[in-house]
Structure formats: structure tokens, C-alpha cells
Structure 1
Amino acid sequence: MSEPLVPNMNCANFILPYPEEIAKKTGSDGMIFSIREHYLLLAREADGTDPKWAAQLREIADYYPDLYEGEIMERDSRGNWVGDANDWDELTDEQKIHRGNANAAIAALDWLRNELEKAAYYYDTSEDVTRVRRELSEISL
């Protein structure tokens, strides 16, 4: 069995090696496991028995970045992953169209939310604004 590498190049994950028999079957040498996810897993385990310890483990986890397949992923204020901004040239035409459509939809929803906030001040449109907001919240779930 190969030696475990702890921690990995970005100091945010472990590489857990597979036994040689499993590595031959799967074609993979091991599994990447996030240090952050490790602490969050321990916190979930401790939730029922020791909530104070679970809170401390979550605080520790916040010091480590989010990972996806070993690569550090940045998140925006809403908790969504922020994609690599420099990968545009590497995308296919279909991926560029998809990303453009997604960004256009987000921009349209942001504009609509802004318009709804402005319209909420008028008594005549308050019921319509409330109805549209409820519909939007149902769609977003």
C-alpha cells in the first residue's frame, strides 16, 4: 500500500490511498478528502451528544476552503460556487451559450427583484408585488 500524503498541495485536503487490490480494480490510487469536510462530518456526529463541541468543530472547519475534486472553490455571498473566470477560451460553443444564458437569467431576476422593491412602495401595486414575490420564491426552491 502506498504512503498517505497529509495534507495535499493546497493544505486543504488529504489523499487517502486505496489498497493495491482496490486500486487495480478501480484504476484510481486513492480518494481526495477535504479537511473542511472532515471537521463538518465530525460536527454532524457530535450534534446529538455535544452541541458545544459540534459548534467548535464547525468554527474550525470555517478556516479551511471549500474543495471540489481537490481544487479550492470560491463561494459568493449566497453560498454558490464561483466559477473560474479565466476559462472562457477553453469552453465549447455550447458551454459558452449555456453560461451566457445562465448569467442573463440571473441578471434578469436581479432586475426584476429591484423593480419589485421599487413597486412595493405603492399601495396600488402591493398585492401584485406580494403575489409575484411568492411565485418567484416557489420557483427558486
Structure 2
Amino acid sequence: MSELLVPTMNCACFILPYPEEVAKKTGSAGMVYSIRELYLLLARQVDDSDPPEAAALREIADHYPDVNRGEIVERDSRGNRVHEEDDWDELTDEQKIHRGNVNAAIAVVDRIRYQLENAAFDYEMADDVTRVRRELSAIAV
């Protein structure tokens, strides 16, 4: 590489450029990475070795917005995405059914996660709880 590639950033993300050869192969100029996710990743790495440092990193992460592909995501107090406008009246019947099914599926997954949190204290179920959590993580959007 002949020139130094410097990441740029906005209020919520780093924009990490790809080297020219990689950019040509992938068709993408770079990667967008959330500043919040970076701090949360660092916190997870020091969870076992330095819990106070992990707590401090999580506190720092809370000062940065949640993002999805570079776009800031607004969430309500329950962690659900807040849509900018109510478009329910403009949806077709098929779209309304689809959105209802998606919301129902999210509610079921939230209930399963709640039950997993309660079951995590039962040592006999620890392996099953871990397996189900991994499967839920694998299908998470």
C-alpha cells in the first residue's frame, strides 16, 4: 500500500476503508463499524479479568447511539425500534399480516428469552439454556 488509509468517523460510526485491491474484489470501499459496538466488544473481552473496567467501557458505550449499517436506530424504553412515522394506513392487507406475524414472533422470542433468564439459575438446566441461547443468537436479525 502506497498511502496510509485513515478511518473517518461520524457521531456513531467508524468508516474503515478497505485497501484498494480488496475494494476492487468486493465492490465495497470500506466497512462501517459502530463506536458503541466497539466499546461493548472491548467490555466483553475484559469481563472475566477486569469487571470494573468492563463496567466503565459499558458506561462509555451508553453515550453512543445504537446504529444499523451506519444509520442511527431510535429505540424505546423496552429496546424496540421506534419508527419515524406511522405508516399502518398505507400498508396493504398482506403487508399488515406480515408485520403482525413479525411482531408476534418477536413477542414469542422475548418471552423465551425471559424464561431463559429465569432458568439460568437452575444448574440442572444450564446446558439446555446455553444451547437455546446459542440457537436464538444464530437466528437473531
* TM-score, scaled relative to structure 2: 0.62
Aligned residue number for residue 70 of structure 2: 70
- The alignment partner of 1:75 has SS state of coil
Q: 1:79 Cα deviation (Å)?
A: 1.1
1:56 aligns with 2:56: yes
C-alpha deviations, 1:18-75, integer Å up to 9, x for none? 1111111110000000000010011001101100000000000000000000000011
Question: How many residue pairs align between the two structures?
Answer: 109
- Shift of the 92–70 alpha-carbon distance from structure 1 to 2, 3 Å rule, reads farther
Gaps of 5+ in 1: 110-136
- The residue that corresponds to 1:42 in the other structure is 42
Q: Which residue of 1 aligns with 2:111?
A: 140
Counterpart residue number, 1:6: 8
Q: Within 5 Å, which residues of 2 pair with 1:123-134?
A: none
Q: 1:28, 1:2 → 2: CA distance?
A: 18
Aligned structure 1 segments of 4 or more residues deviating by more than 6 angstroms? 86-93
Larger radius of gyration: 1
Let me know the Cα RMSD of the aligned residues. Answer: 3.3
Quick check: 72-81 or 26-35, which moved more?
72-81
Q: Secondary structure at the match of 1:32?
A: strand
Residue 3 of structure 1 deviates from its aligned partner by 3.9
Shift of 1:94: 4.3
Give the direction of change, closer, same or farther, for the CA distance of 1:17–1:50 in structure 2 (3 Å limit): same
Is the CA contact (8 Å cut-off) linking 1:14 and 1:35 kept in structure 2?
Answer: yes
Counterpart of 2:70, as a letter, is G
Match of 1:140, SS?
Answer: helix
